[in-house]
Chains A and B, each alone.
Chain A
């Protein structure tokens, strides 16, 4: 059909087209807003704003038993730094605080606490606000743990046979299992450490799929792509020229994230940097392929942006195992999650950052990503050719 005078023509046409695409990308500030400014904003939000850690949570304390023992038992709440006990006069006041969410929980020491202490069976009441379920569960665990340590702490501090008679029944003296817990890969349980790999997945998806789908859909909508088809350029050149700028923007986003992970948040990078880069590039191809495919099917900016959100961004936030572990969800949702390329990229990044080079995972996940890249880019190429006929 057209003269395709060898590889020199290919390179020349590709270079010219790519230059045009770059100009187009750089001309509109809104493209750079999403490619560069948004990653920076997201890095700051993920690193500083979002946290699942409980710190300094206000806890309303009601002492119906005014004994020193009762006071001492709840004083332990202060030790962990997770809680700030607020002593209130009555249960009524405590409930008011909880309802206004000025307290996360109520700890109530009943009137018979010290009387029952010696005999065993002393109980403390704990009420948590369930509206933020996961936070409430963490708080309940922490408080239970902090209260349970009290008898031992008191014995260690004051000792003496008199006290032993009072407190010992509480500390089981008859053999008990204790748990020596070690959290591998994230010993201090810093939530930033697992948010940052998730952030990289989000940004790559955003730049690759969302931005590409949107900008391509605009060309379809305005007919400028069809105008290109009548020139001697081949579809593959058009696609490559489209891919290169967005790929570049995506890599800039990645570089920002890696630098922030390393120097701002000190997230460990146990695995090799090269494999992180390789996996990210593979995923970026997947995302760009998805964007190209969506835009060529939708051919309308509003619909393309909606489909891109629905197919790429929201799932990578909600279904990739980033926030919610796929092991806990019903089978159907797990299958959907397992069908998403983002899930594999997420798993790979978390492992590479926190655990190190685990080769079985690297090989499998990279193979899956490469497979998706070939599939999606191939499909985009097919759809673009069909349009020419």
Chain B
């Protein structure tokens, strides 16, 4: 009894229109689909930085010599370190760190200058606030660089022999190692994921809750067609959100894009389809909107945290790394970073595309099957 292709298109188009209307007819919903993506990409673009630019520190200078003043001046001259206190007792030092007035204390010993002239190695003590060990580690390496610079100058002025072993460091794909450069491409994939999943999961759950899903099932549409009609609008919305974040990344934060826009969109489209597949599978399982939302959320949290966005996948233990094979976001972030920052082509990211294809190829038919076989 199957009819022509034109009929199929007609039905599909109508269902899509209905789905778009369901999401977009409410002005509050329209806003919520655009604003969060924009606000978050701007805010997080500024917030997400491991790069230090203001380190309050305390100096304990027991030496009070020309040499120690020179070292301190070097530290102050970086523009990163800001001397907020000059402590003189261990208790005062402790208090400054405890109350977070300073991130580090630099303690220069009494015999600093004398030992330097004597050609000895003089230890200075560096105390760091380890409550945020990330910042502390980063500050420590800044101090190390300043001290190395001081040493070189000292040797030059005071007739040292030879230069130390040089290590010439270069960073590829992100020469200044700016966190924003790798975070923003990651956000292009991840910020839209949650809403894509939710929209899809809710669209079926809402009809279930209101009883209109049964009506949809008795129409001439096949489950596969219903699934397509439900899947297309969220894919479009997800891609629109990714586009917003992409524009912010490229033009607001001016992160240079090395790869091609076509490859990027091909990758994003595949990722969004995989997400929609997962969303549909959730909605087929959930009995109410509330359940659909909560299950989506319970799923999204691990997906976000184990995606490599905030901490690298390779730092995870082997078991967790294996689990991330089921995480579409992990592959999407890798893909987008490679295409955006490194200029990789689609062939170079095929190892990321295959798992996404597999996820879509499992979840979409599963959802269509459930539509037919699970009437709640």
Nearest B-chain residue to A49, judged by Cβ: B320
**B residues within 8 A CB of A51?**
311, 315-316
Query: A197 vs B173: C-alpha distance in the bound complex, in angstroms?
Result: 34
Flag whether A388 is at the interface (Cβ < 8 A): no
**B residues within 8 A CB of A187?**
130
Is the Cβ of B137 less than 8 Å from the Cβ of A189?
yes
Q: How far is the CB of B375 from chain A (nearest CB, A)?
A: 20
Binds A, one of B2-10, B232-240, B289-297, B362-370: B289-297
Nearest A-chain residue to B126, judged by Cβ: A181
Flag whether B214 is at the interface (Cβ < 8 A): no
Cβ proximity bits B288-308 to A, threshold 8 Å, 1 near / 0 not: 111101110110011001101
Is the Cβ of A355 less than 8 Å from the Cβ of B131?
yes
Binds B, one of A85-93, A128-136, A238-246, A253-261: A128-136
Cβ proximity bits B7-43 to A, threshold 8 Å, 1 near / 0 not: 0000000000000000000101100100010011001
Contact of A193 among B125, B133, B163 (CB under 8 A): B133
Nearest A-chain residue to B320, judged by Cβ: A49
Q: List residues of A (277-296) whose CB comes within 8 Å of B's CBs.
A: none
Is the Cβ of B144 less than 8 Å from the Cβ of A347?
no
Nearest B-chain residue to A95, judged by Cβ: B172
Flag whether A71 is at the interface (Cβ < 8 A): no
Contact of A50 among B47, B118, B143, B316 (CB under 8 A): B316
**B residues within 8 A CB of A138?**
137
Nearest B-chain residue to A119, judged by Cβ: B162
Contact of B154 among A168, A176, A361 (CB under 8 A): A176
User: B143, B147, B165, B171 — which one has the most chain A CB atoms within 10 A of its CB?
Assistant: B165
Q: Is the interface of A mostly helix, strand, loop or mixed?
A: helix
Nearest A-chain residue to B314, judged by Cβ: A57
**B residues within 8 A CB of A42?**
301-302, 305
Q: List residues of B (135-187) whose CB comes within 8 Å of A's CBs.
A: 135-138, 140-141, 143-144, 147, 150-151, 154-155, 158-175, 177-179, 181-182
Flag whether A231 is at the interface (Cβ < 8 A): no
Flag whether B49 is at the interface (Cβ < 8 A): yes
Asked whether A314 and B40 contact (CB < 8 A) given A210-B297, A214-B290, the answer is yes
Is the Cβ of B150 less than 8 Å from the Cβ of A177?
yes
Nearest A-chain residue to B23, judged by Cβ: A302
Query: A35 vs B156: C-alpha distance in the bound complex, in angstroms?
Result: 63
Binds A, one of B98-106, B219-227, B243-251, B263-271: B98-106
Binds A, one of B51-59, B273-281, B353-361: B51-59
Q: List residues of A (51-78) whose CB comes within 8 Å of B's CBs.
A: 51-55, 57, 73
Asked whether A122 and B115 contact (CB < 8 A) given A28-B291, A306-B195, A350-B131, the answer is no
Flag whether B76 is at the interface (Cβ < 8 A): no
Flag whether A266 is at the interface (Cβ < 8 A): no
Q: List residues of B (202-260) whose CB comes within 8 Å of A's CBs.
A: 202
Is the Cβ of A99 less than 8 Å from the Cβ of B342?
yes
Is the Cβ of A147 less than 8 Å from the Cβ of B305?
no
Is the Cβ of B123 less than 8 Å from the Cβ of A178?
yes
Flag whether B119 is at the interface (Cβ < 8 A): yes
Query: A42 vs B182: C-alpha distance in the bound complex, in angstroms?
Result: 24
Is the Cβ of B298 less than 8 Å from the Cβ of A37?
yes
Nearest A-chain residue to B106, judged by Cβ: A179
Is the Cβ of A325 less than 8 Å from the Cβ of B295?
no
Query: A181 vs B305: C-alpha distance in the bound complex, in angstroms?
Result: 31
Flag whether A354 is at the interface (Cβ < 8 A): yes
Nearest A-chain residue to B206, judged by Cβ: A302
Cβ proximity bits B63-101 to A, threshold 8 Å, 1 near / 0 not: 000000001000000000000000000000000011110
Asked whether A170 and B164 contact (CB < 8 A) given A34-B298, A318-B43, the answer is yes
Flag whether A303 is at the interface (Cβ < 8 A): yes
Nearest A-chain residue to B141, judged by Cβ: A141
User: B122, B155, B166, B316 — which one has the most chain A CB atoms within 10 A of its CB?
Assistant: B166
Q: How far is the CB of B185 from chain A (nearest CB, A)?
A: 9
Q: List residues of B (106-121) whose CB comes within 8 Å of A's CBs.
A: 115-121
Query: A325 vs B311: C-alpha distance in the bound complex, in angstroms?
Result: 15
Is the Cβ of A361 less than 8 Å from the Cβ of B100?
yes
Binds B, one of A12-20, A332-340, A379-387: A332-340
Q: How far is the CB of B116 from chain A (nearest CB, A)?
A: 4
Nearest B-chain residue to A33, judged by Cβ: B298
Q: How far is the CB of B104 from chain A (nearest CB, A)?
A: 9
Is the Cβ of B140 less than 8 Å from the Cβ of A175?
no
Asked whether A328 and B53 contact (CB < 8 A) given A126-B170, A136-B177, A176-B155, the answer is yes
Q: How far is the CB of A54 from chain B (nearest CB, A)?
A: 7
Contact of A194 among B131, B174, B177, B178 (CB under 8 A): B131
Q: List residues of A (33-49) whose CB comes within 8 Å of B's CBs.
A: 33-34, 37-38, 41-42, 45-46, 48-49
Is the Cβ of A194 less than 8 Å from the Cβ of B317?
no
Nearest B-chain residue to A176, judged by Cβ: B151
Asked whether A328 and B130 contact (CB < 8 A) given A122-B165, A301-B289, A303-B29, the answer is no
**A residues within 8 A CB of B163?**
120-121, 169
Contact of A133 among B50, B162, B298, B338 (CB under 8 A): B50
Q: How far is the CB of B319 from chain A (nearest CB, A)?
A: 8
Is the Cβ of A52 less than 8 Å from the Cβ of B124?
no
Is the Cβ of B289 less than 8 Å from the Cβ of A174?
no
Flag whether A248 is at the interface (Cβ < 8 A): no
Between A and B, 23 residue pairs with Cβ closer than 8 Å are: A28-B290, A42-B301, A46-B305, A50-B316, A51-B311, A124-B165, A127-B169, A127-B172, A132-B312, A133-B181, A172-B162, A177-B151, A180-B125, A183-B136, A186-B130, A215-B290, A218-B289, A303-B32, A325-B135, A327-B54, A327-B55, A350-B131, A354-B130
Beyond known contacts A28-B288, A175-B158, A175-B160: 12 more, CB 8 A cutoff: A38-B297, A49-B305, A120-B163, A129-B172, A140-B177, A168-B161, A177-B154, A301-B293, A306-B195, A325-B132, A329-B49, A351-B131
Closest 4 CB pairs of A and B: A120-B162, A130-B174, A169-B162, A186-B130
